[in-house]
Structure 1
């Protein structure tokens, strides 16, 4: 059965079809605003809309029954609905758009790239992976959060999310992000954990031009961005994606862990801006 997730929508800047449209995706446990708010002002002349995971940020509290069997492809279909509403306002429904997403938001971008490349002008895949490890730990985390809530994840997330010294240097950013985690709905969080447990795009990468494949790599320009200290999605995971899709650029950010847009907003903005600018100029 296909799940029907209700996503949140954050229209950071929407004007008309004369400007490129960039769609931003979050990481599990974050709101798109908390994660991307320092990047958006550095992207002038671009329309930007963000989406939130079920029960996160601007999204309504979900009905757990509607999230049964949630998958990353389900999230991707829901993101296309978000895009359609934004494009209806801009007057360019069905046109290709730019995408940048982190972790599960990056997995959604990778799915769109492999499943519906014609919808994308280009994509920045950030601190993400074609597979996030064995299902067991994700299913254990889902059960814990569904029974005891997202505050159970604060300590572990603080260790995984931020590079060395960031907590001391930027306590307000850290509190902003951990606050979004604590207020996330437990069933929405648990459903996304289960989706990540089942996520494995590696066969699709092999078919998109990976080693041994006779299928050409994606014609959509892709930039991969990894964090030097990222444990959930280490640089090797981004390198695997970059090889599979024939990325035009692959960067590893020094000192960064899992939430690159919050940890290094100027650098992420530069990379995303370069991607969009180069594509518009083609």
Structure 2
């Protein structure tokens, strides 16, 4: 009924593609600028260390020249050589010192532009990502609405055809009944004789029924016990299932594998909850340890509510 173009417009991989592009753009546009800025620091630190060494050489040459001048027996050749070494050491130190005095303030001031541009880029990328995701969600909603309308029309058409067929059949029966004489129908068929079970079979059947009833009772009692409040962690809200793998990037996050069942818990302080994040505990950890210390936060869109 014309659903092909609408369905093809919504590719299930579009959301994954948007998410990968978003992360790639962050790495290319935001993180790279920070890395470029930070790569300057090792070179600056090395040059500062070199300037400090040259300052020591400059002080040593100055003290050596002063001691030769103050000596009782002056050697003009040594004094001239010491003065030459002092001038060379002073020149090297001053060149490094002047360069660092010019570059260090510029490097320090550049931090503002780097941070502002980085955060602005992050904000723009996030805004673009959410706009694209909103379009996909709206497209999916339109498709689901069209499918529901088509299903409803198909159901109404099937019901109308069924009703017309029933009326036509009823009319045919009425015509046949009025035109043909009534004849007696064939005698009802008899059921086959029932075999009488032996005493052992009757006892076995009764035992099987008793075992089945006992198993049903045990299952029901187990279900009631498992569903009681004392078997659930404090603050339990509902249960979700991981539909994507999630690698934790922080110590308070919960790592997920596809198929993990998670018990969603309420935050102690609702203001701590971030949009799109839930607090939970893996059901397997709770069943084994009955301890909520393994709880952590995880992205809601990586799970599906059970």
Shorter chain as denominator, the TM-score bin is under 0.3
TM-score (norm 2): 0.19
TM-score (norm 1): 0.20
Larger-Rg structure: 2
Relative to its length, the structure with more helix (as a share) is 2
Relative to its length, the structure with more strand (as a share) is 1
| Greater relative contact order structure (CA < 8 Å, 6+ sep) | 1
